[in-house]
Structure 1
């Protein structure tokens, strides 16, 4: 079992190690299905996430979501993540618009578009082989890196927008102030 998957103890068939995701996608594409990939932290699930997944699913047959490890989420602040990776995987797997979920197979050392991070995400995208990368450029600080990666790898980039962008970080900060 992949190390990043060991601590996501689940019976939910929508949550798989990245190697299994890659295999499922290969078979789906043989059947002519279009596969989209979204990656992120998704710490506190909110309407912006729901809108993103719903809109993304309208553009693809299979929507795959990669979820940042807890160590990567901690780069957003000392109190993060609010929900551990197992909880975040379970929550997203319960959404009708999300078909497959996987914990990211790596931990970022910094939350930037560093050369190292760009290479990690490029390798991941090559392994999974989606037809498109999907994000919300309004709320995703790394949308340009995703756009460039899609262009470099010859896949589509779908930039969606939510009328009311919000963030898990702003929600977490609000909760911390009130308590």
Structure 2
């Protein structure tokens, strides 16, 4: 069995998130997703997530392409997470290209292109503009 692991904040869940999760799942038999904790998200993006870590985990876990969800506490623990979940493939968005190549000794590392013209930041900005119009 091929286990695929990927990571993300998955705040304000949108079609770009769904597409990368579905493409990740297509690379194996099982998809495990690490959802960034609130503290990790704050340190990475310098802003609070709209939805709490527990809500984001619940939303991602409800997707049929996802088999298991866990809370990612630290970017530096990727190797530990890959080993803990016995992942054969690590998938990241291509904005992380090269950053996790050091894990290629324990799994295949794939960088998938993001869905063009969509991001959580863009969705939040659109909602804010619409709300003030």
Q: TM-score, normalised by structure 2?
A: 0.84
Residues 42-79 of structure 1: CA distance to partner in whole angstroms, max 9, x if unpaired?
Answer: 1111111111111111111000000010111123133x
Match of residue 94, structure 1, among 62, 68, 71: 62
RMSD after superposition:
1.9
Q: TM-score, normalised by structure 1?
A: 0.65
- Residues 12 and 120 in structure 2, CA contact (< 8 A), matched pair in contact too: yes
- Residues 19 and 115 in structure 2, CA contact (< 8 A), matched pair in contact too: no
Match of residue 77, structure 1, among 7, 23, 46: 46
Number of residue pairs aligned between Structure 1 and Structure 2:
130
Give the structure with the higher percent strand: 2
Task: Please show how residues 44-63 of structure 1 align to structure 2 within 5 Å.
Answer: 44-63=12-31
- Residues 3 and 89 in structure 2, CA contact (< 8 A), matched pair in contact too: yes
Which residue pairs with 2:124 in the alignment? Answer: 172
Q: Does 1:121 align with 2:90?
A: no
Instruction: Please identify runs of 4+ aligned residues in structure 1 that moved more than 3 A.
Output: 176-179
Distance (whole Å) between structure 1 residues aligned to residue 62 and residue 116 of structure 2? 23
- Compared with structure 1, are the counterparts of its residues 41 and 171 closer, same or farther at alpha carbon in structure 2 (3 Å cutoff)? same
Point out where structure 1 has 5 or more consecutive residues left out of the alignment.
1-32, 109-116
Which residue pairs with 2:87 in the alignment? Answer: 130
Q: Which has the larger radius of gyration?
A: 1
Distance (whole Å) between structure 1 residues aligned to residue 82 and residue 117 of structure 2? 26
